[in-house]
């Protein structure tokens, strides 16, 4: 790896984290465009295209197929999955507050005791493990016992539904992350330009959303990296 990168993570992780942030940028562009004249829908589309081209041309990955879909799927699933898991636990804590032994048993059975802390830290693998343990151990008896307390069955079904979708998206993403080409200094300059542009967006957008934690998280580069299972010191 060349020495003069502006980032300290792997090229593919930088690009995929940037891709995730660029997608969030596009999703929120109608609001963010009111804060800067150069932040337009065309700018957002061009940024995504620039990142896609860099992944496909310089890493040798066909981003037009599975990788793009997998990265977008992971980004779209992770926030609602974390939200629903957290909401489920809150309801269990409240519904079984007078039955602490039963409450603790349910949370242990469904994976919360072992994996929730990792999920809260944004660890992808922890979320996958919790979702799968939830899906595997949600027996019909336990389901009915929880529903009888007032929890809507739809929430249970949603959490179970995330398991297969999230796992498949993660596997696809990791598979395509394994393919790279030799990187020249010219390509490194291209990567640095993308990184600098994304970091600029992150600094401005995260400040704009400083009182909206879920949206702010979408524009935190270190968080985007950790969601990929990567880690790095972020410049600036």
CA angle 41, 49, 201 (to 5 degrees): 55
The model's pTM is 0.52
Task: Supply the pLDDT for residue 16.
Answer: 87
Backbone angles phi, psi at 151, to 5 degrees: -70, 135
Condensed to tens digits (0 to 9), the pLDDT of residues 16-46 reads 899 999 999 999 999 999 999 999 999 999 9
Task: Supply the pLDDT for residue 1.
Answer: 46
Reported as a pLDDT band with limits 50, 70 and 90, residue 103 is very high
Reported as a pLDDT band with limits 50, 70 and 90, residue 72 is low
Task: Supply the pLDDT for residue 235.
Answer: 41
Rg (CA), the chain: 20
Average pLDDT, the chain: 84
Alpha-carbon distance of 100 to 209, in angstroms, equals: 38
Provide the 8-state DSSP code for 35. T
The token pair at 81 is: 């999955």
Task: Supply the pLDDT for residue 169.
Answer: 62
Alpha-carbon distance of 31 to 50, in angstroms, equals: 22
Alpha-carbon distance of 94 to 29, in angstroms, equals: 38
């Amino acid at each position: 790896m060349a020495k003069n990168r502006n980032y300290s993570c792997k090229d593919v992780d930088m690009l995929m984290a940037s891709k995730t942030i660029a997608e969030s940028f596009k999703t929120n562009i109608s609001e963010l465009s009111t804060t800067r004249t150069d932040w337009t829908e065309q700018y957002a589309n061009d940024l995504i295209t620039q990142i896609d081209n860099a992944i496909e041309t310089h890493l040798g990955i066909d981003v037009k197929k599975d990788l793009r879909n997998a990265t977008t799927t992971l980004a779209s699933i992770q926030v609602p999955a974390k939200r629903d898991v957290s909401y489920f636990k809150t309801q269990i804590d409240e519904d079984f507050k007078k039955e602490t032994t039963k409450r603790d048993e349910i949370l242990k059975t469904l994976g919360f005791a072992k994996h929730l802390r990792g999920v809260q830290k944004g660890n992808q693998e922890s979320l996958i493990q919790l979702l799968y343990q939830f899906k595997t151990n949600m027996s019909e008896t336990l389901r009915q016992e929880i529903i009888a307390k007032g929890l809507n069955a739809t929430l249970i079904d949603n959490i179970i539904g995330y398991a297969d979708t999230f796992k498949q998206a993660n596997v696809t993403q990791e598979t395509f992350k394994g393919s790279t080409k030799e990187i020249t200094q010219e390509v490194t300059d291209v990567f640095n330009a993308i990184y600098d542009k994304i970091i600029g967006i992150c600094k401005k957008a995260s400040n704009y959303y400083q009182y909206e934690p879920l949206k702010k998280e979408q524009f935190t580069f270190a968080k985007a990296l950790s969601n990929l299972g990567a880690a790095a010191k972020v410049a600036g």
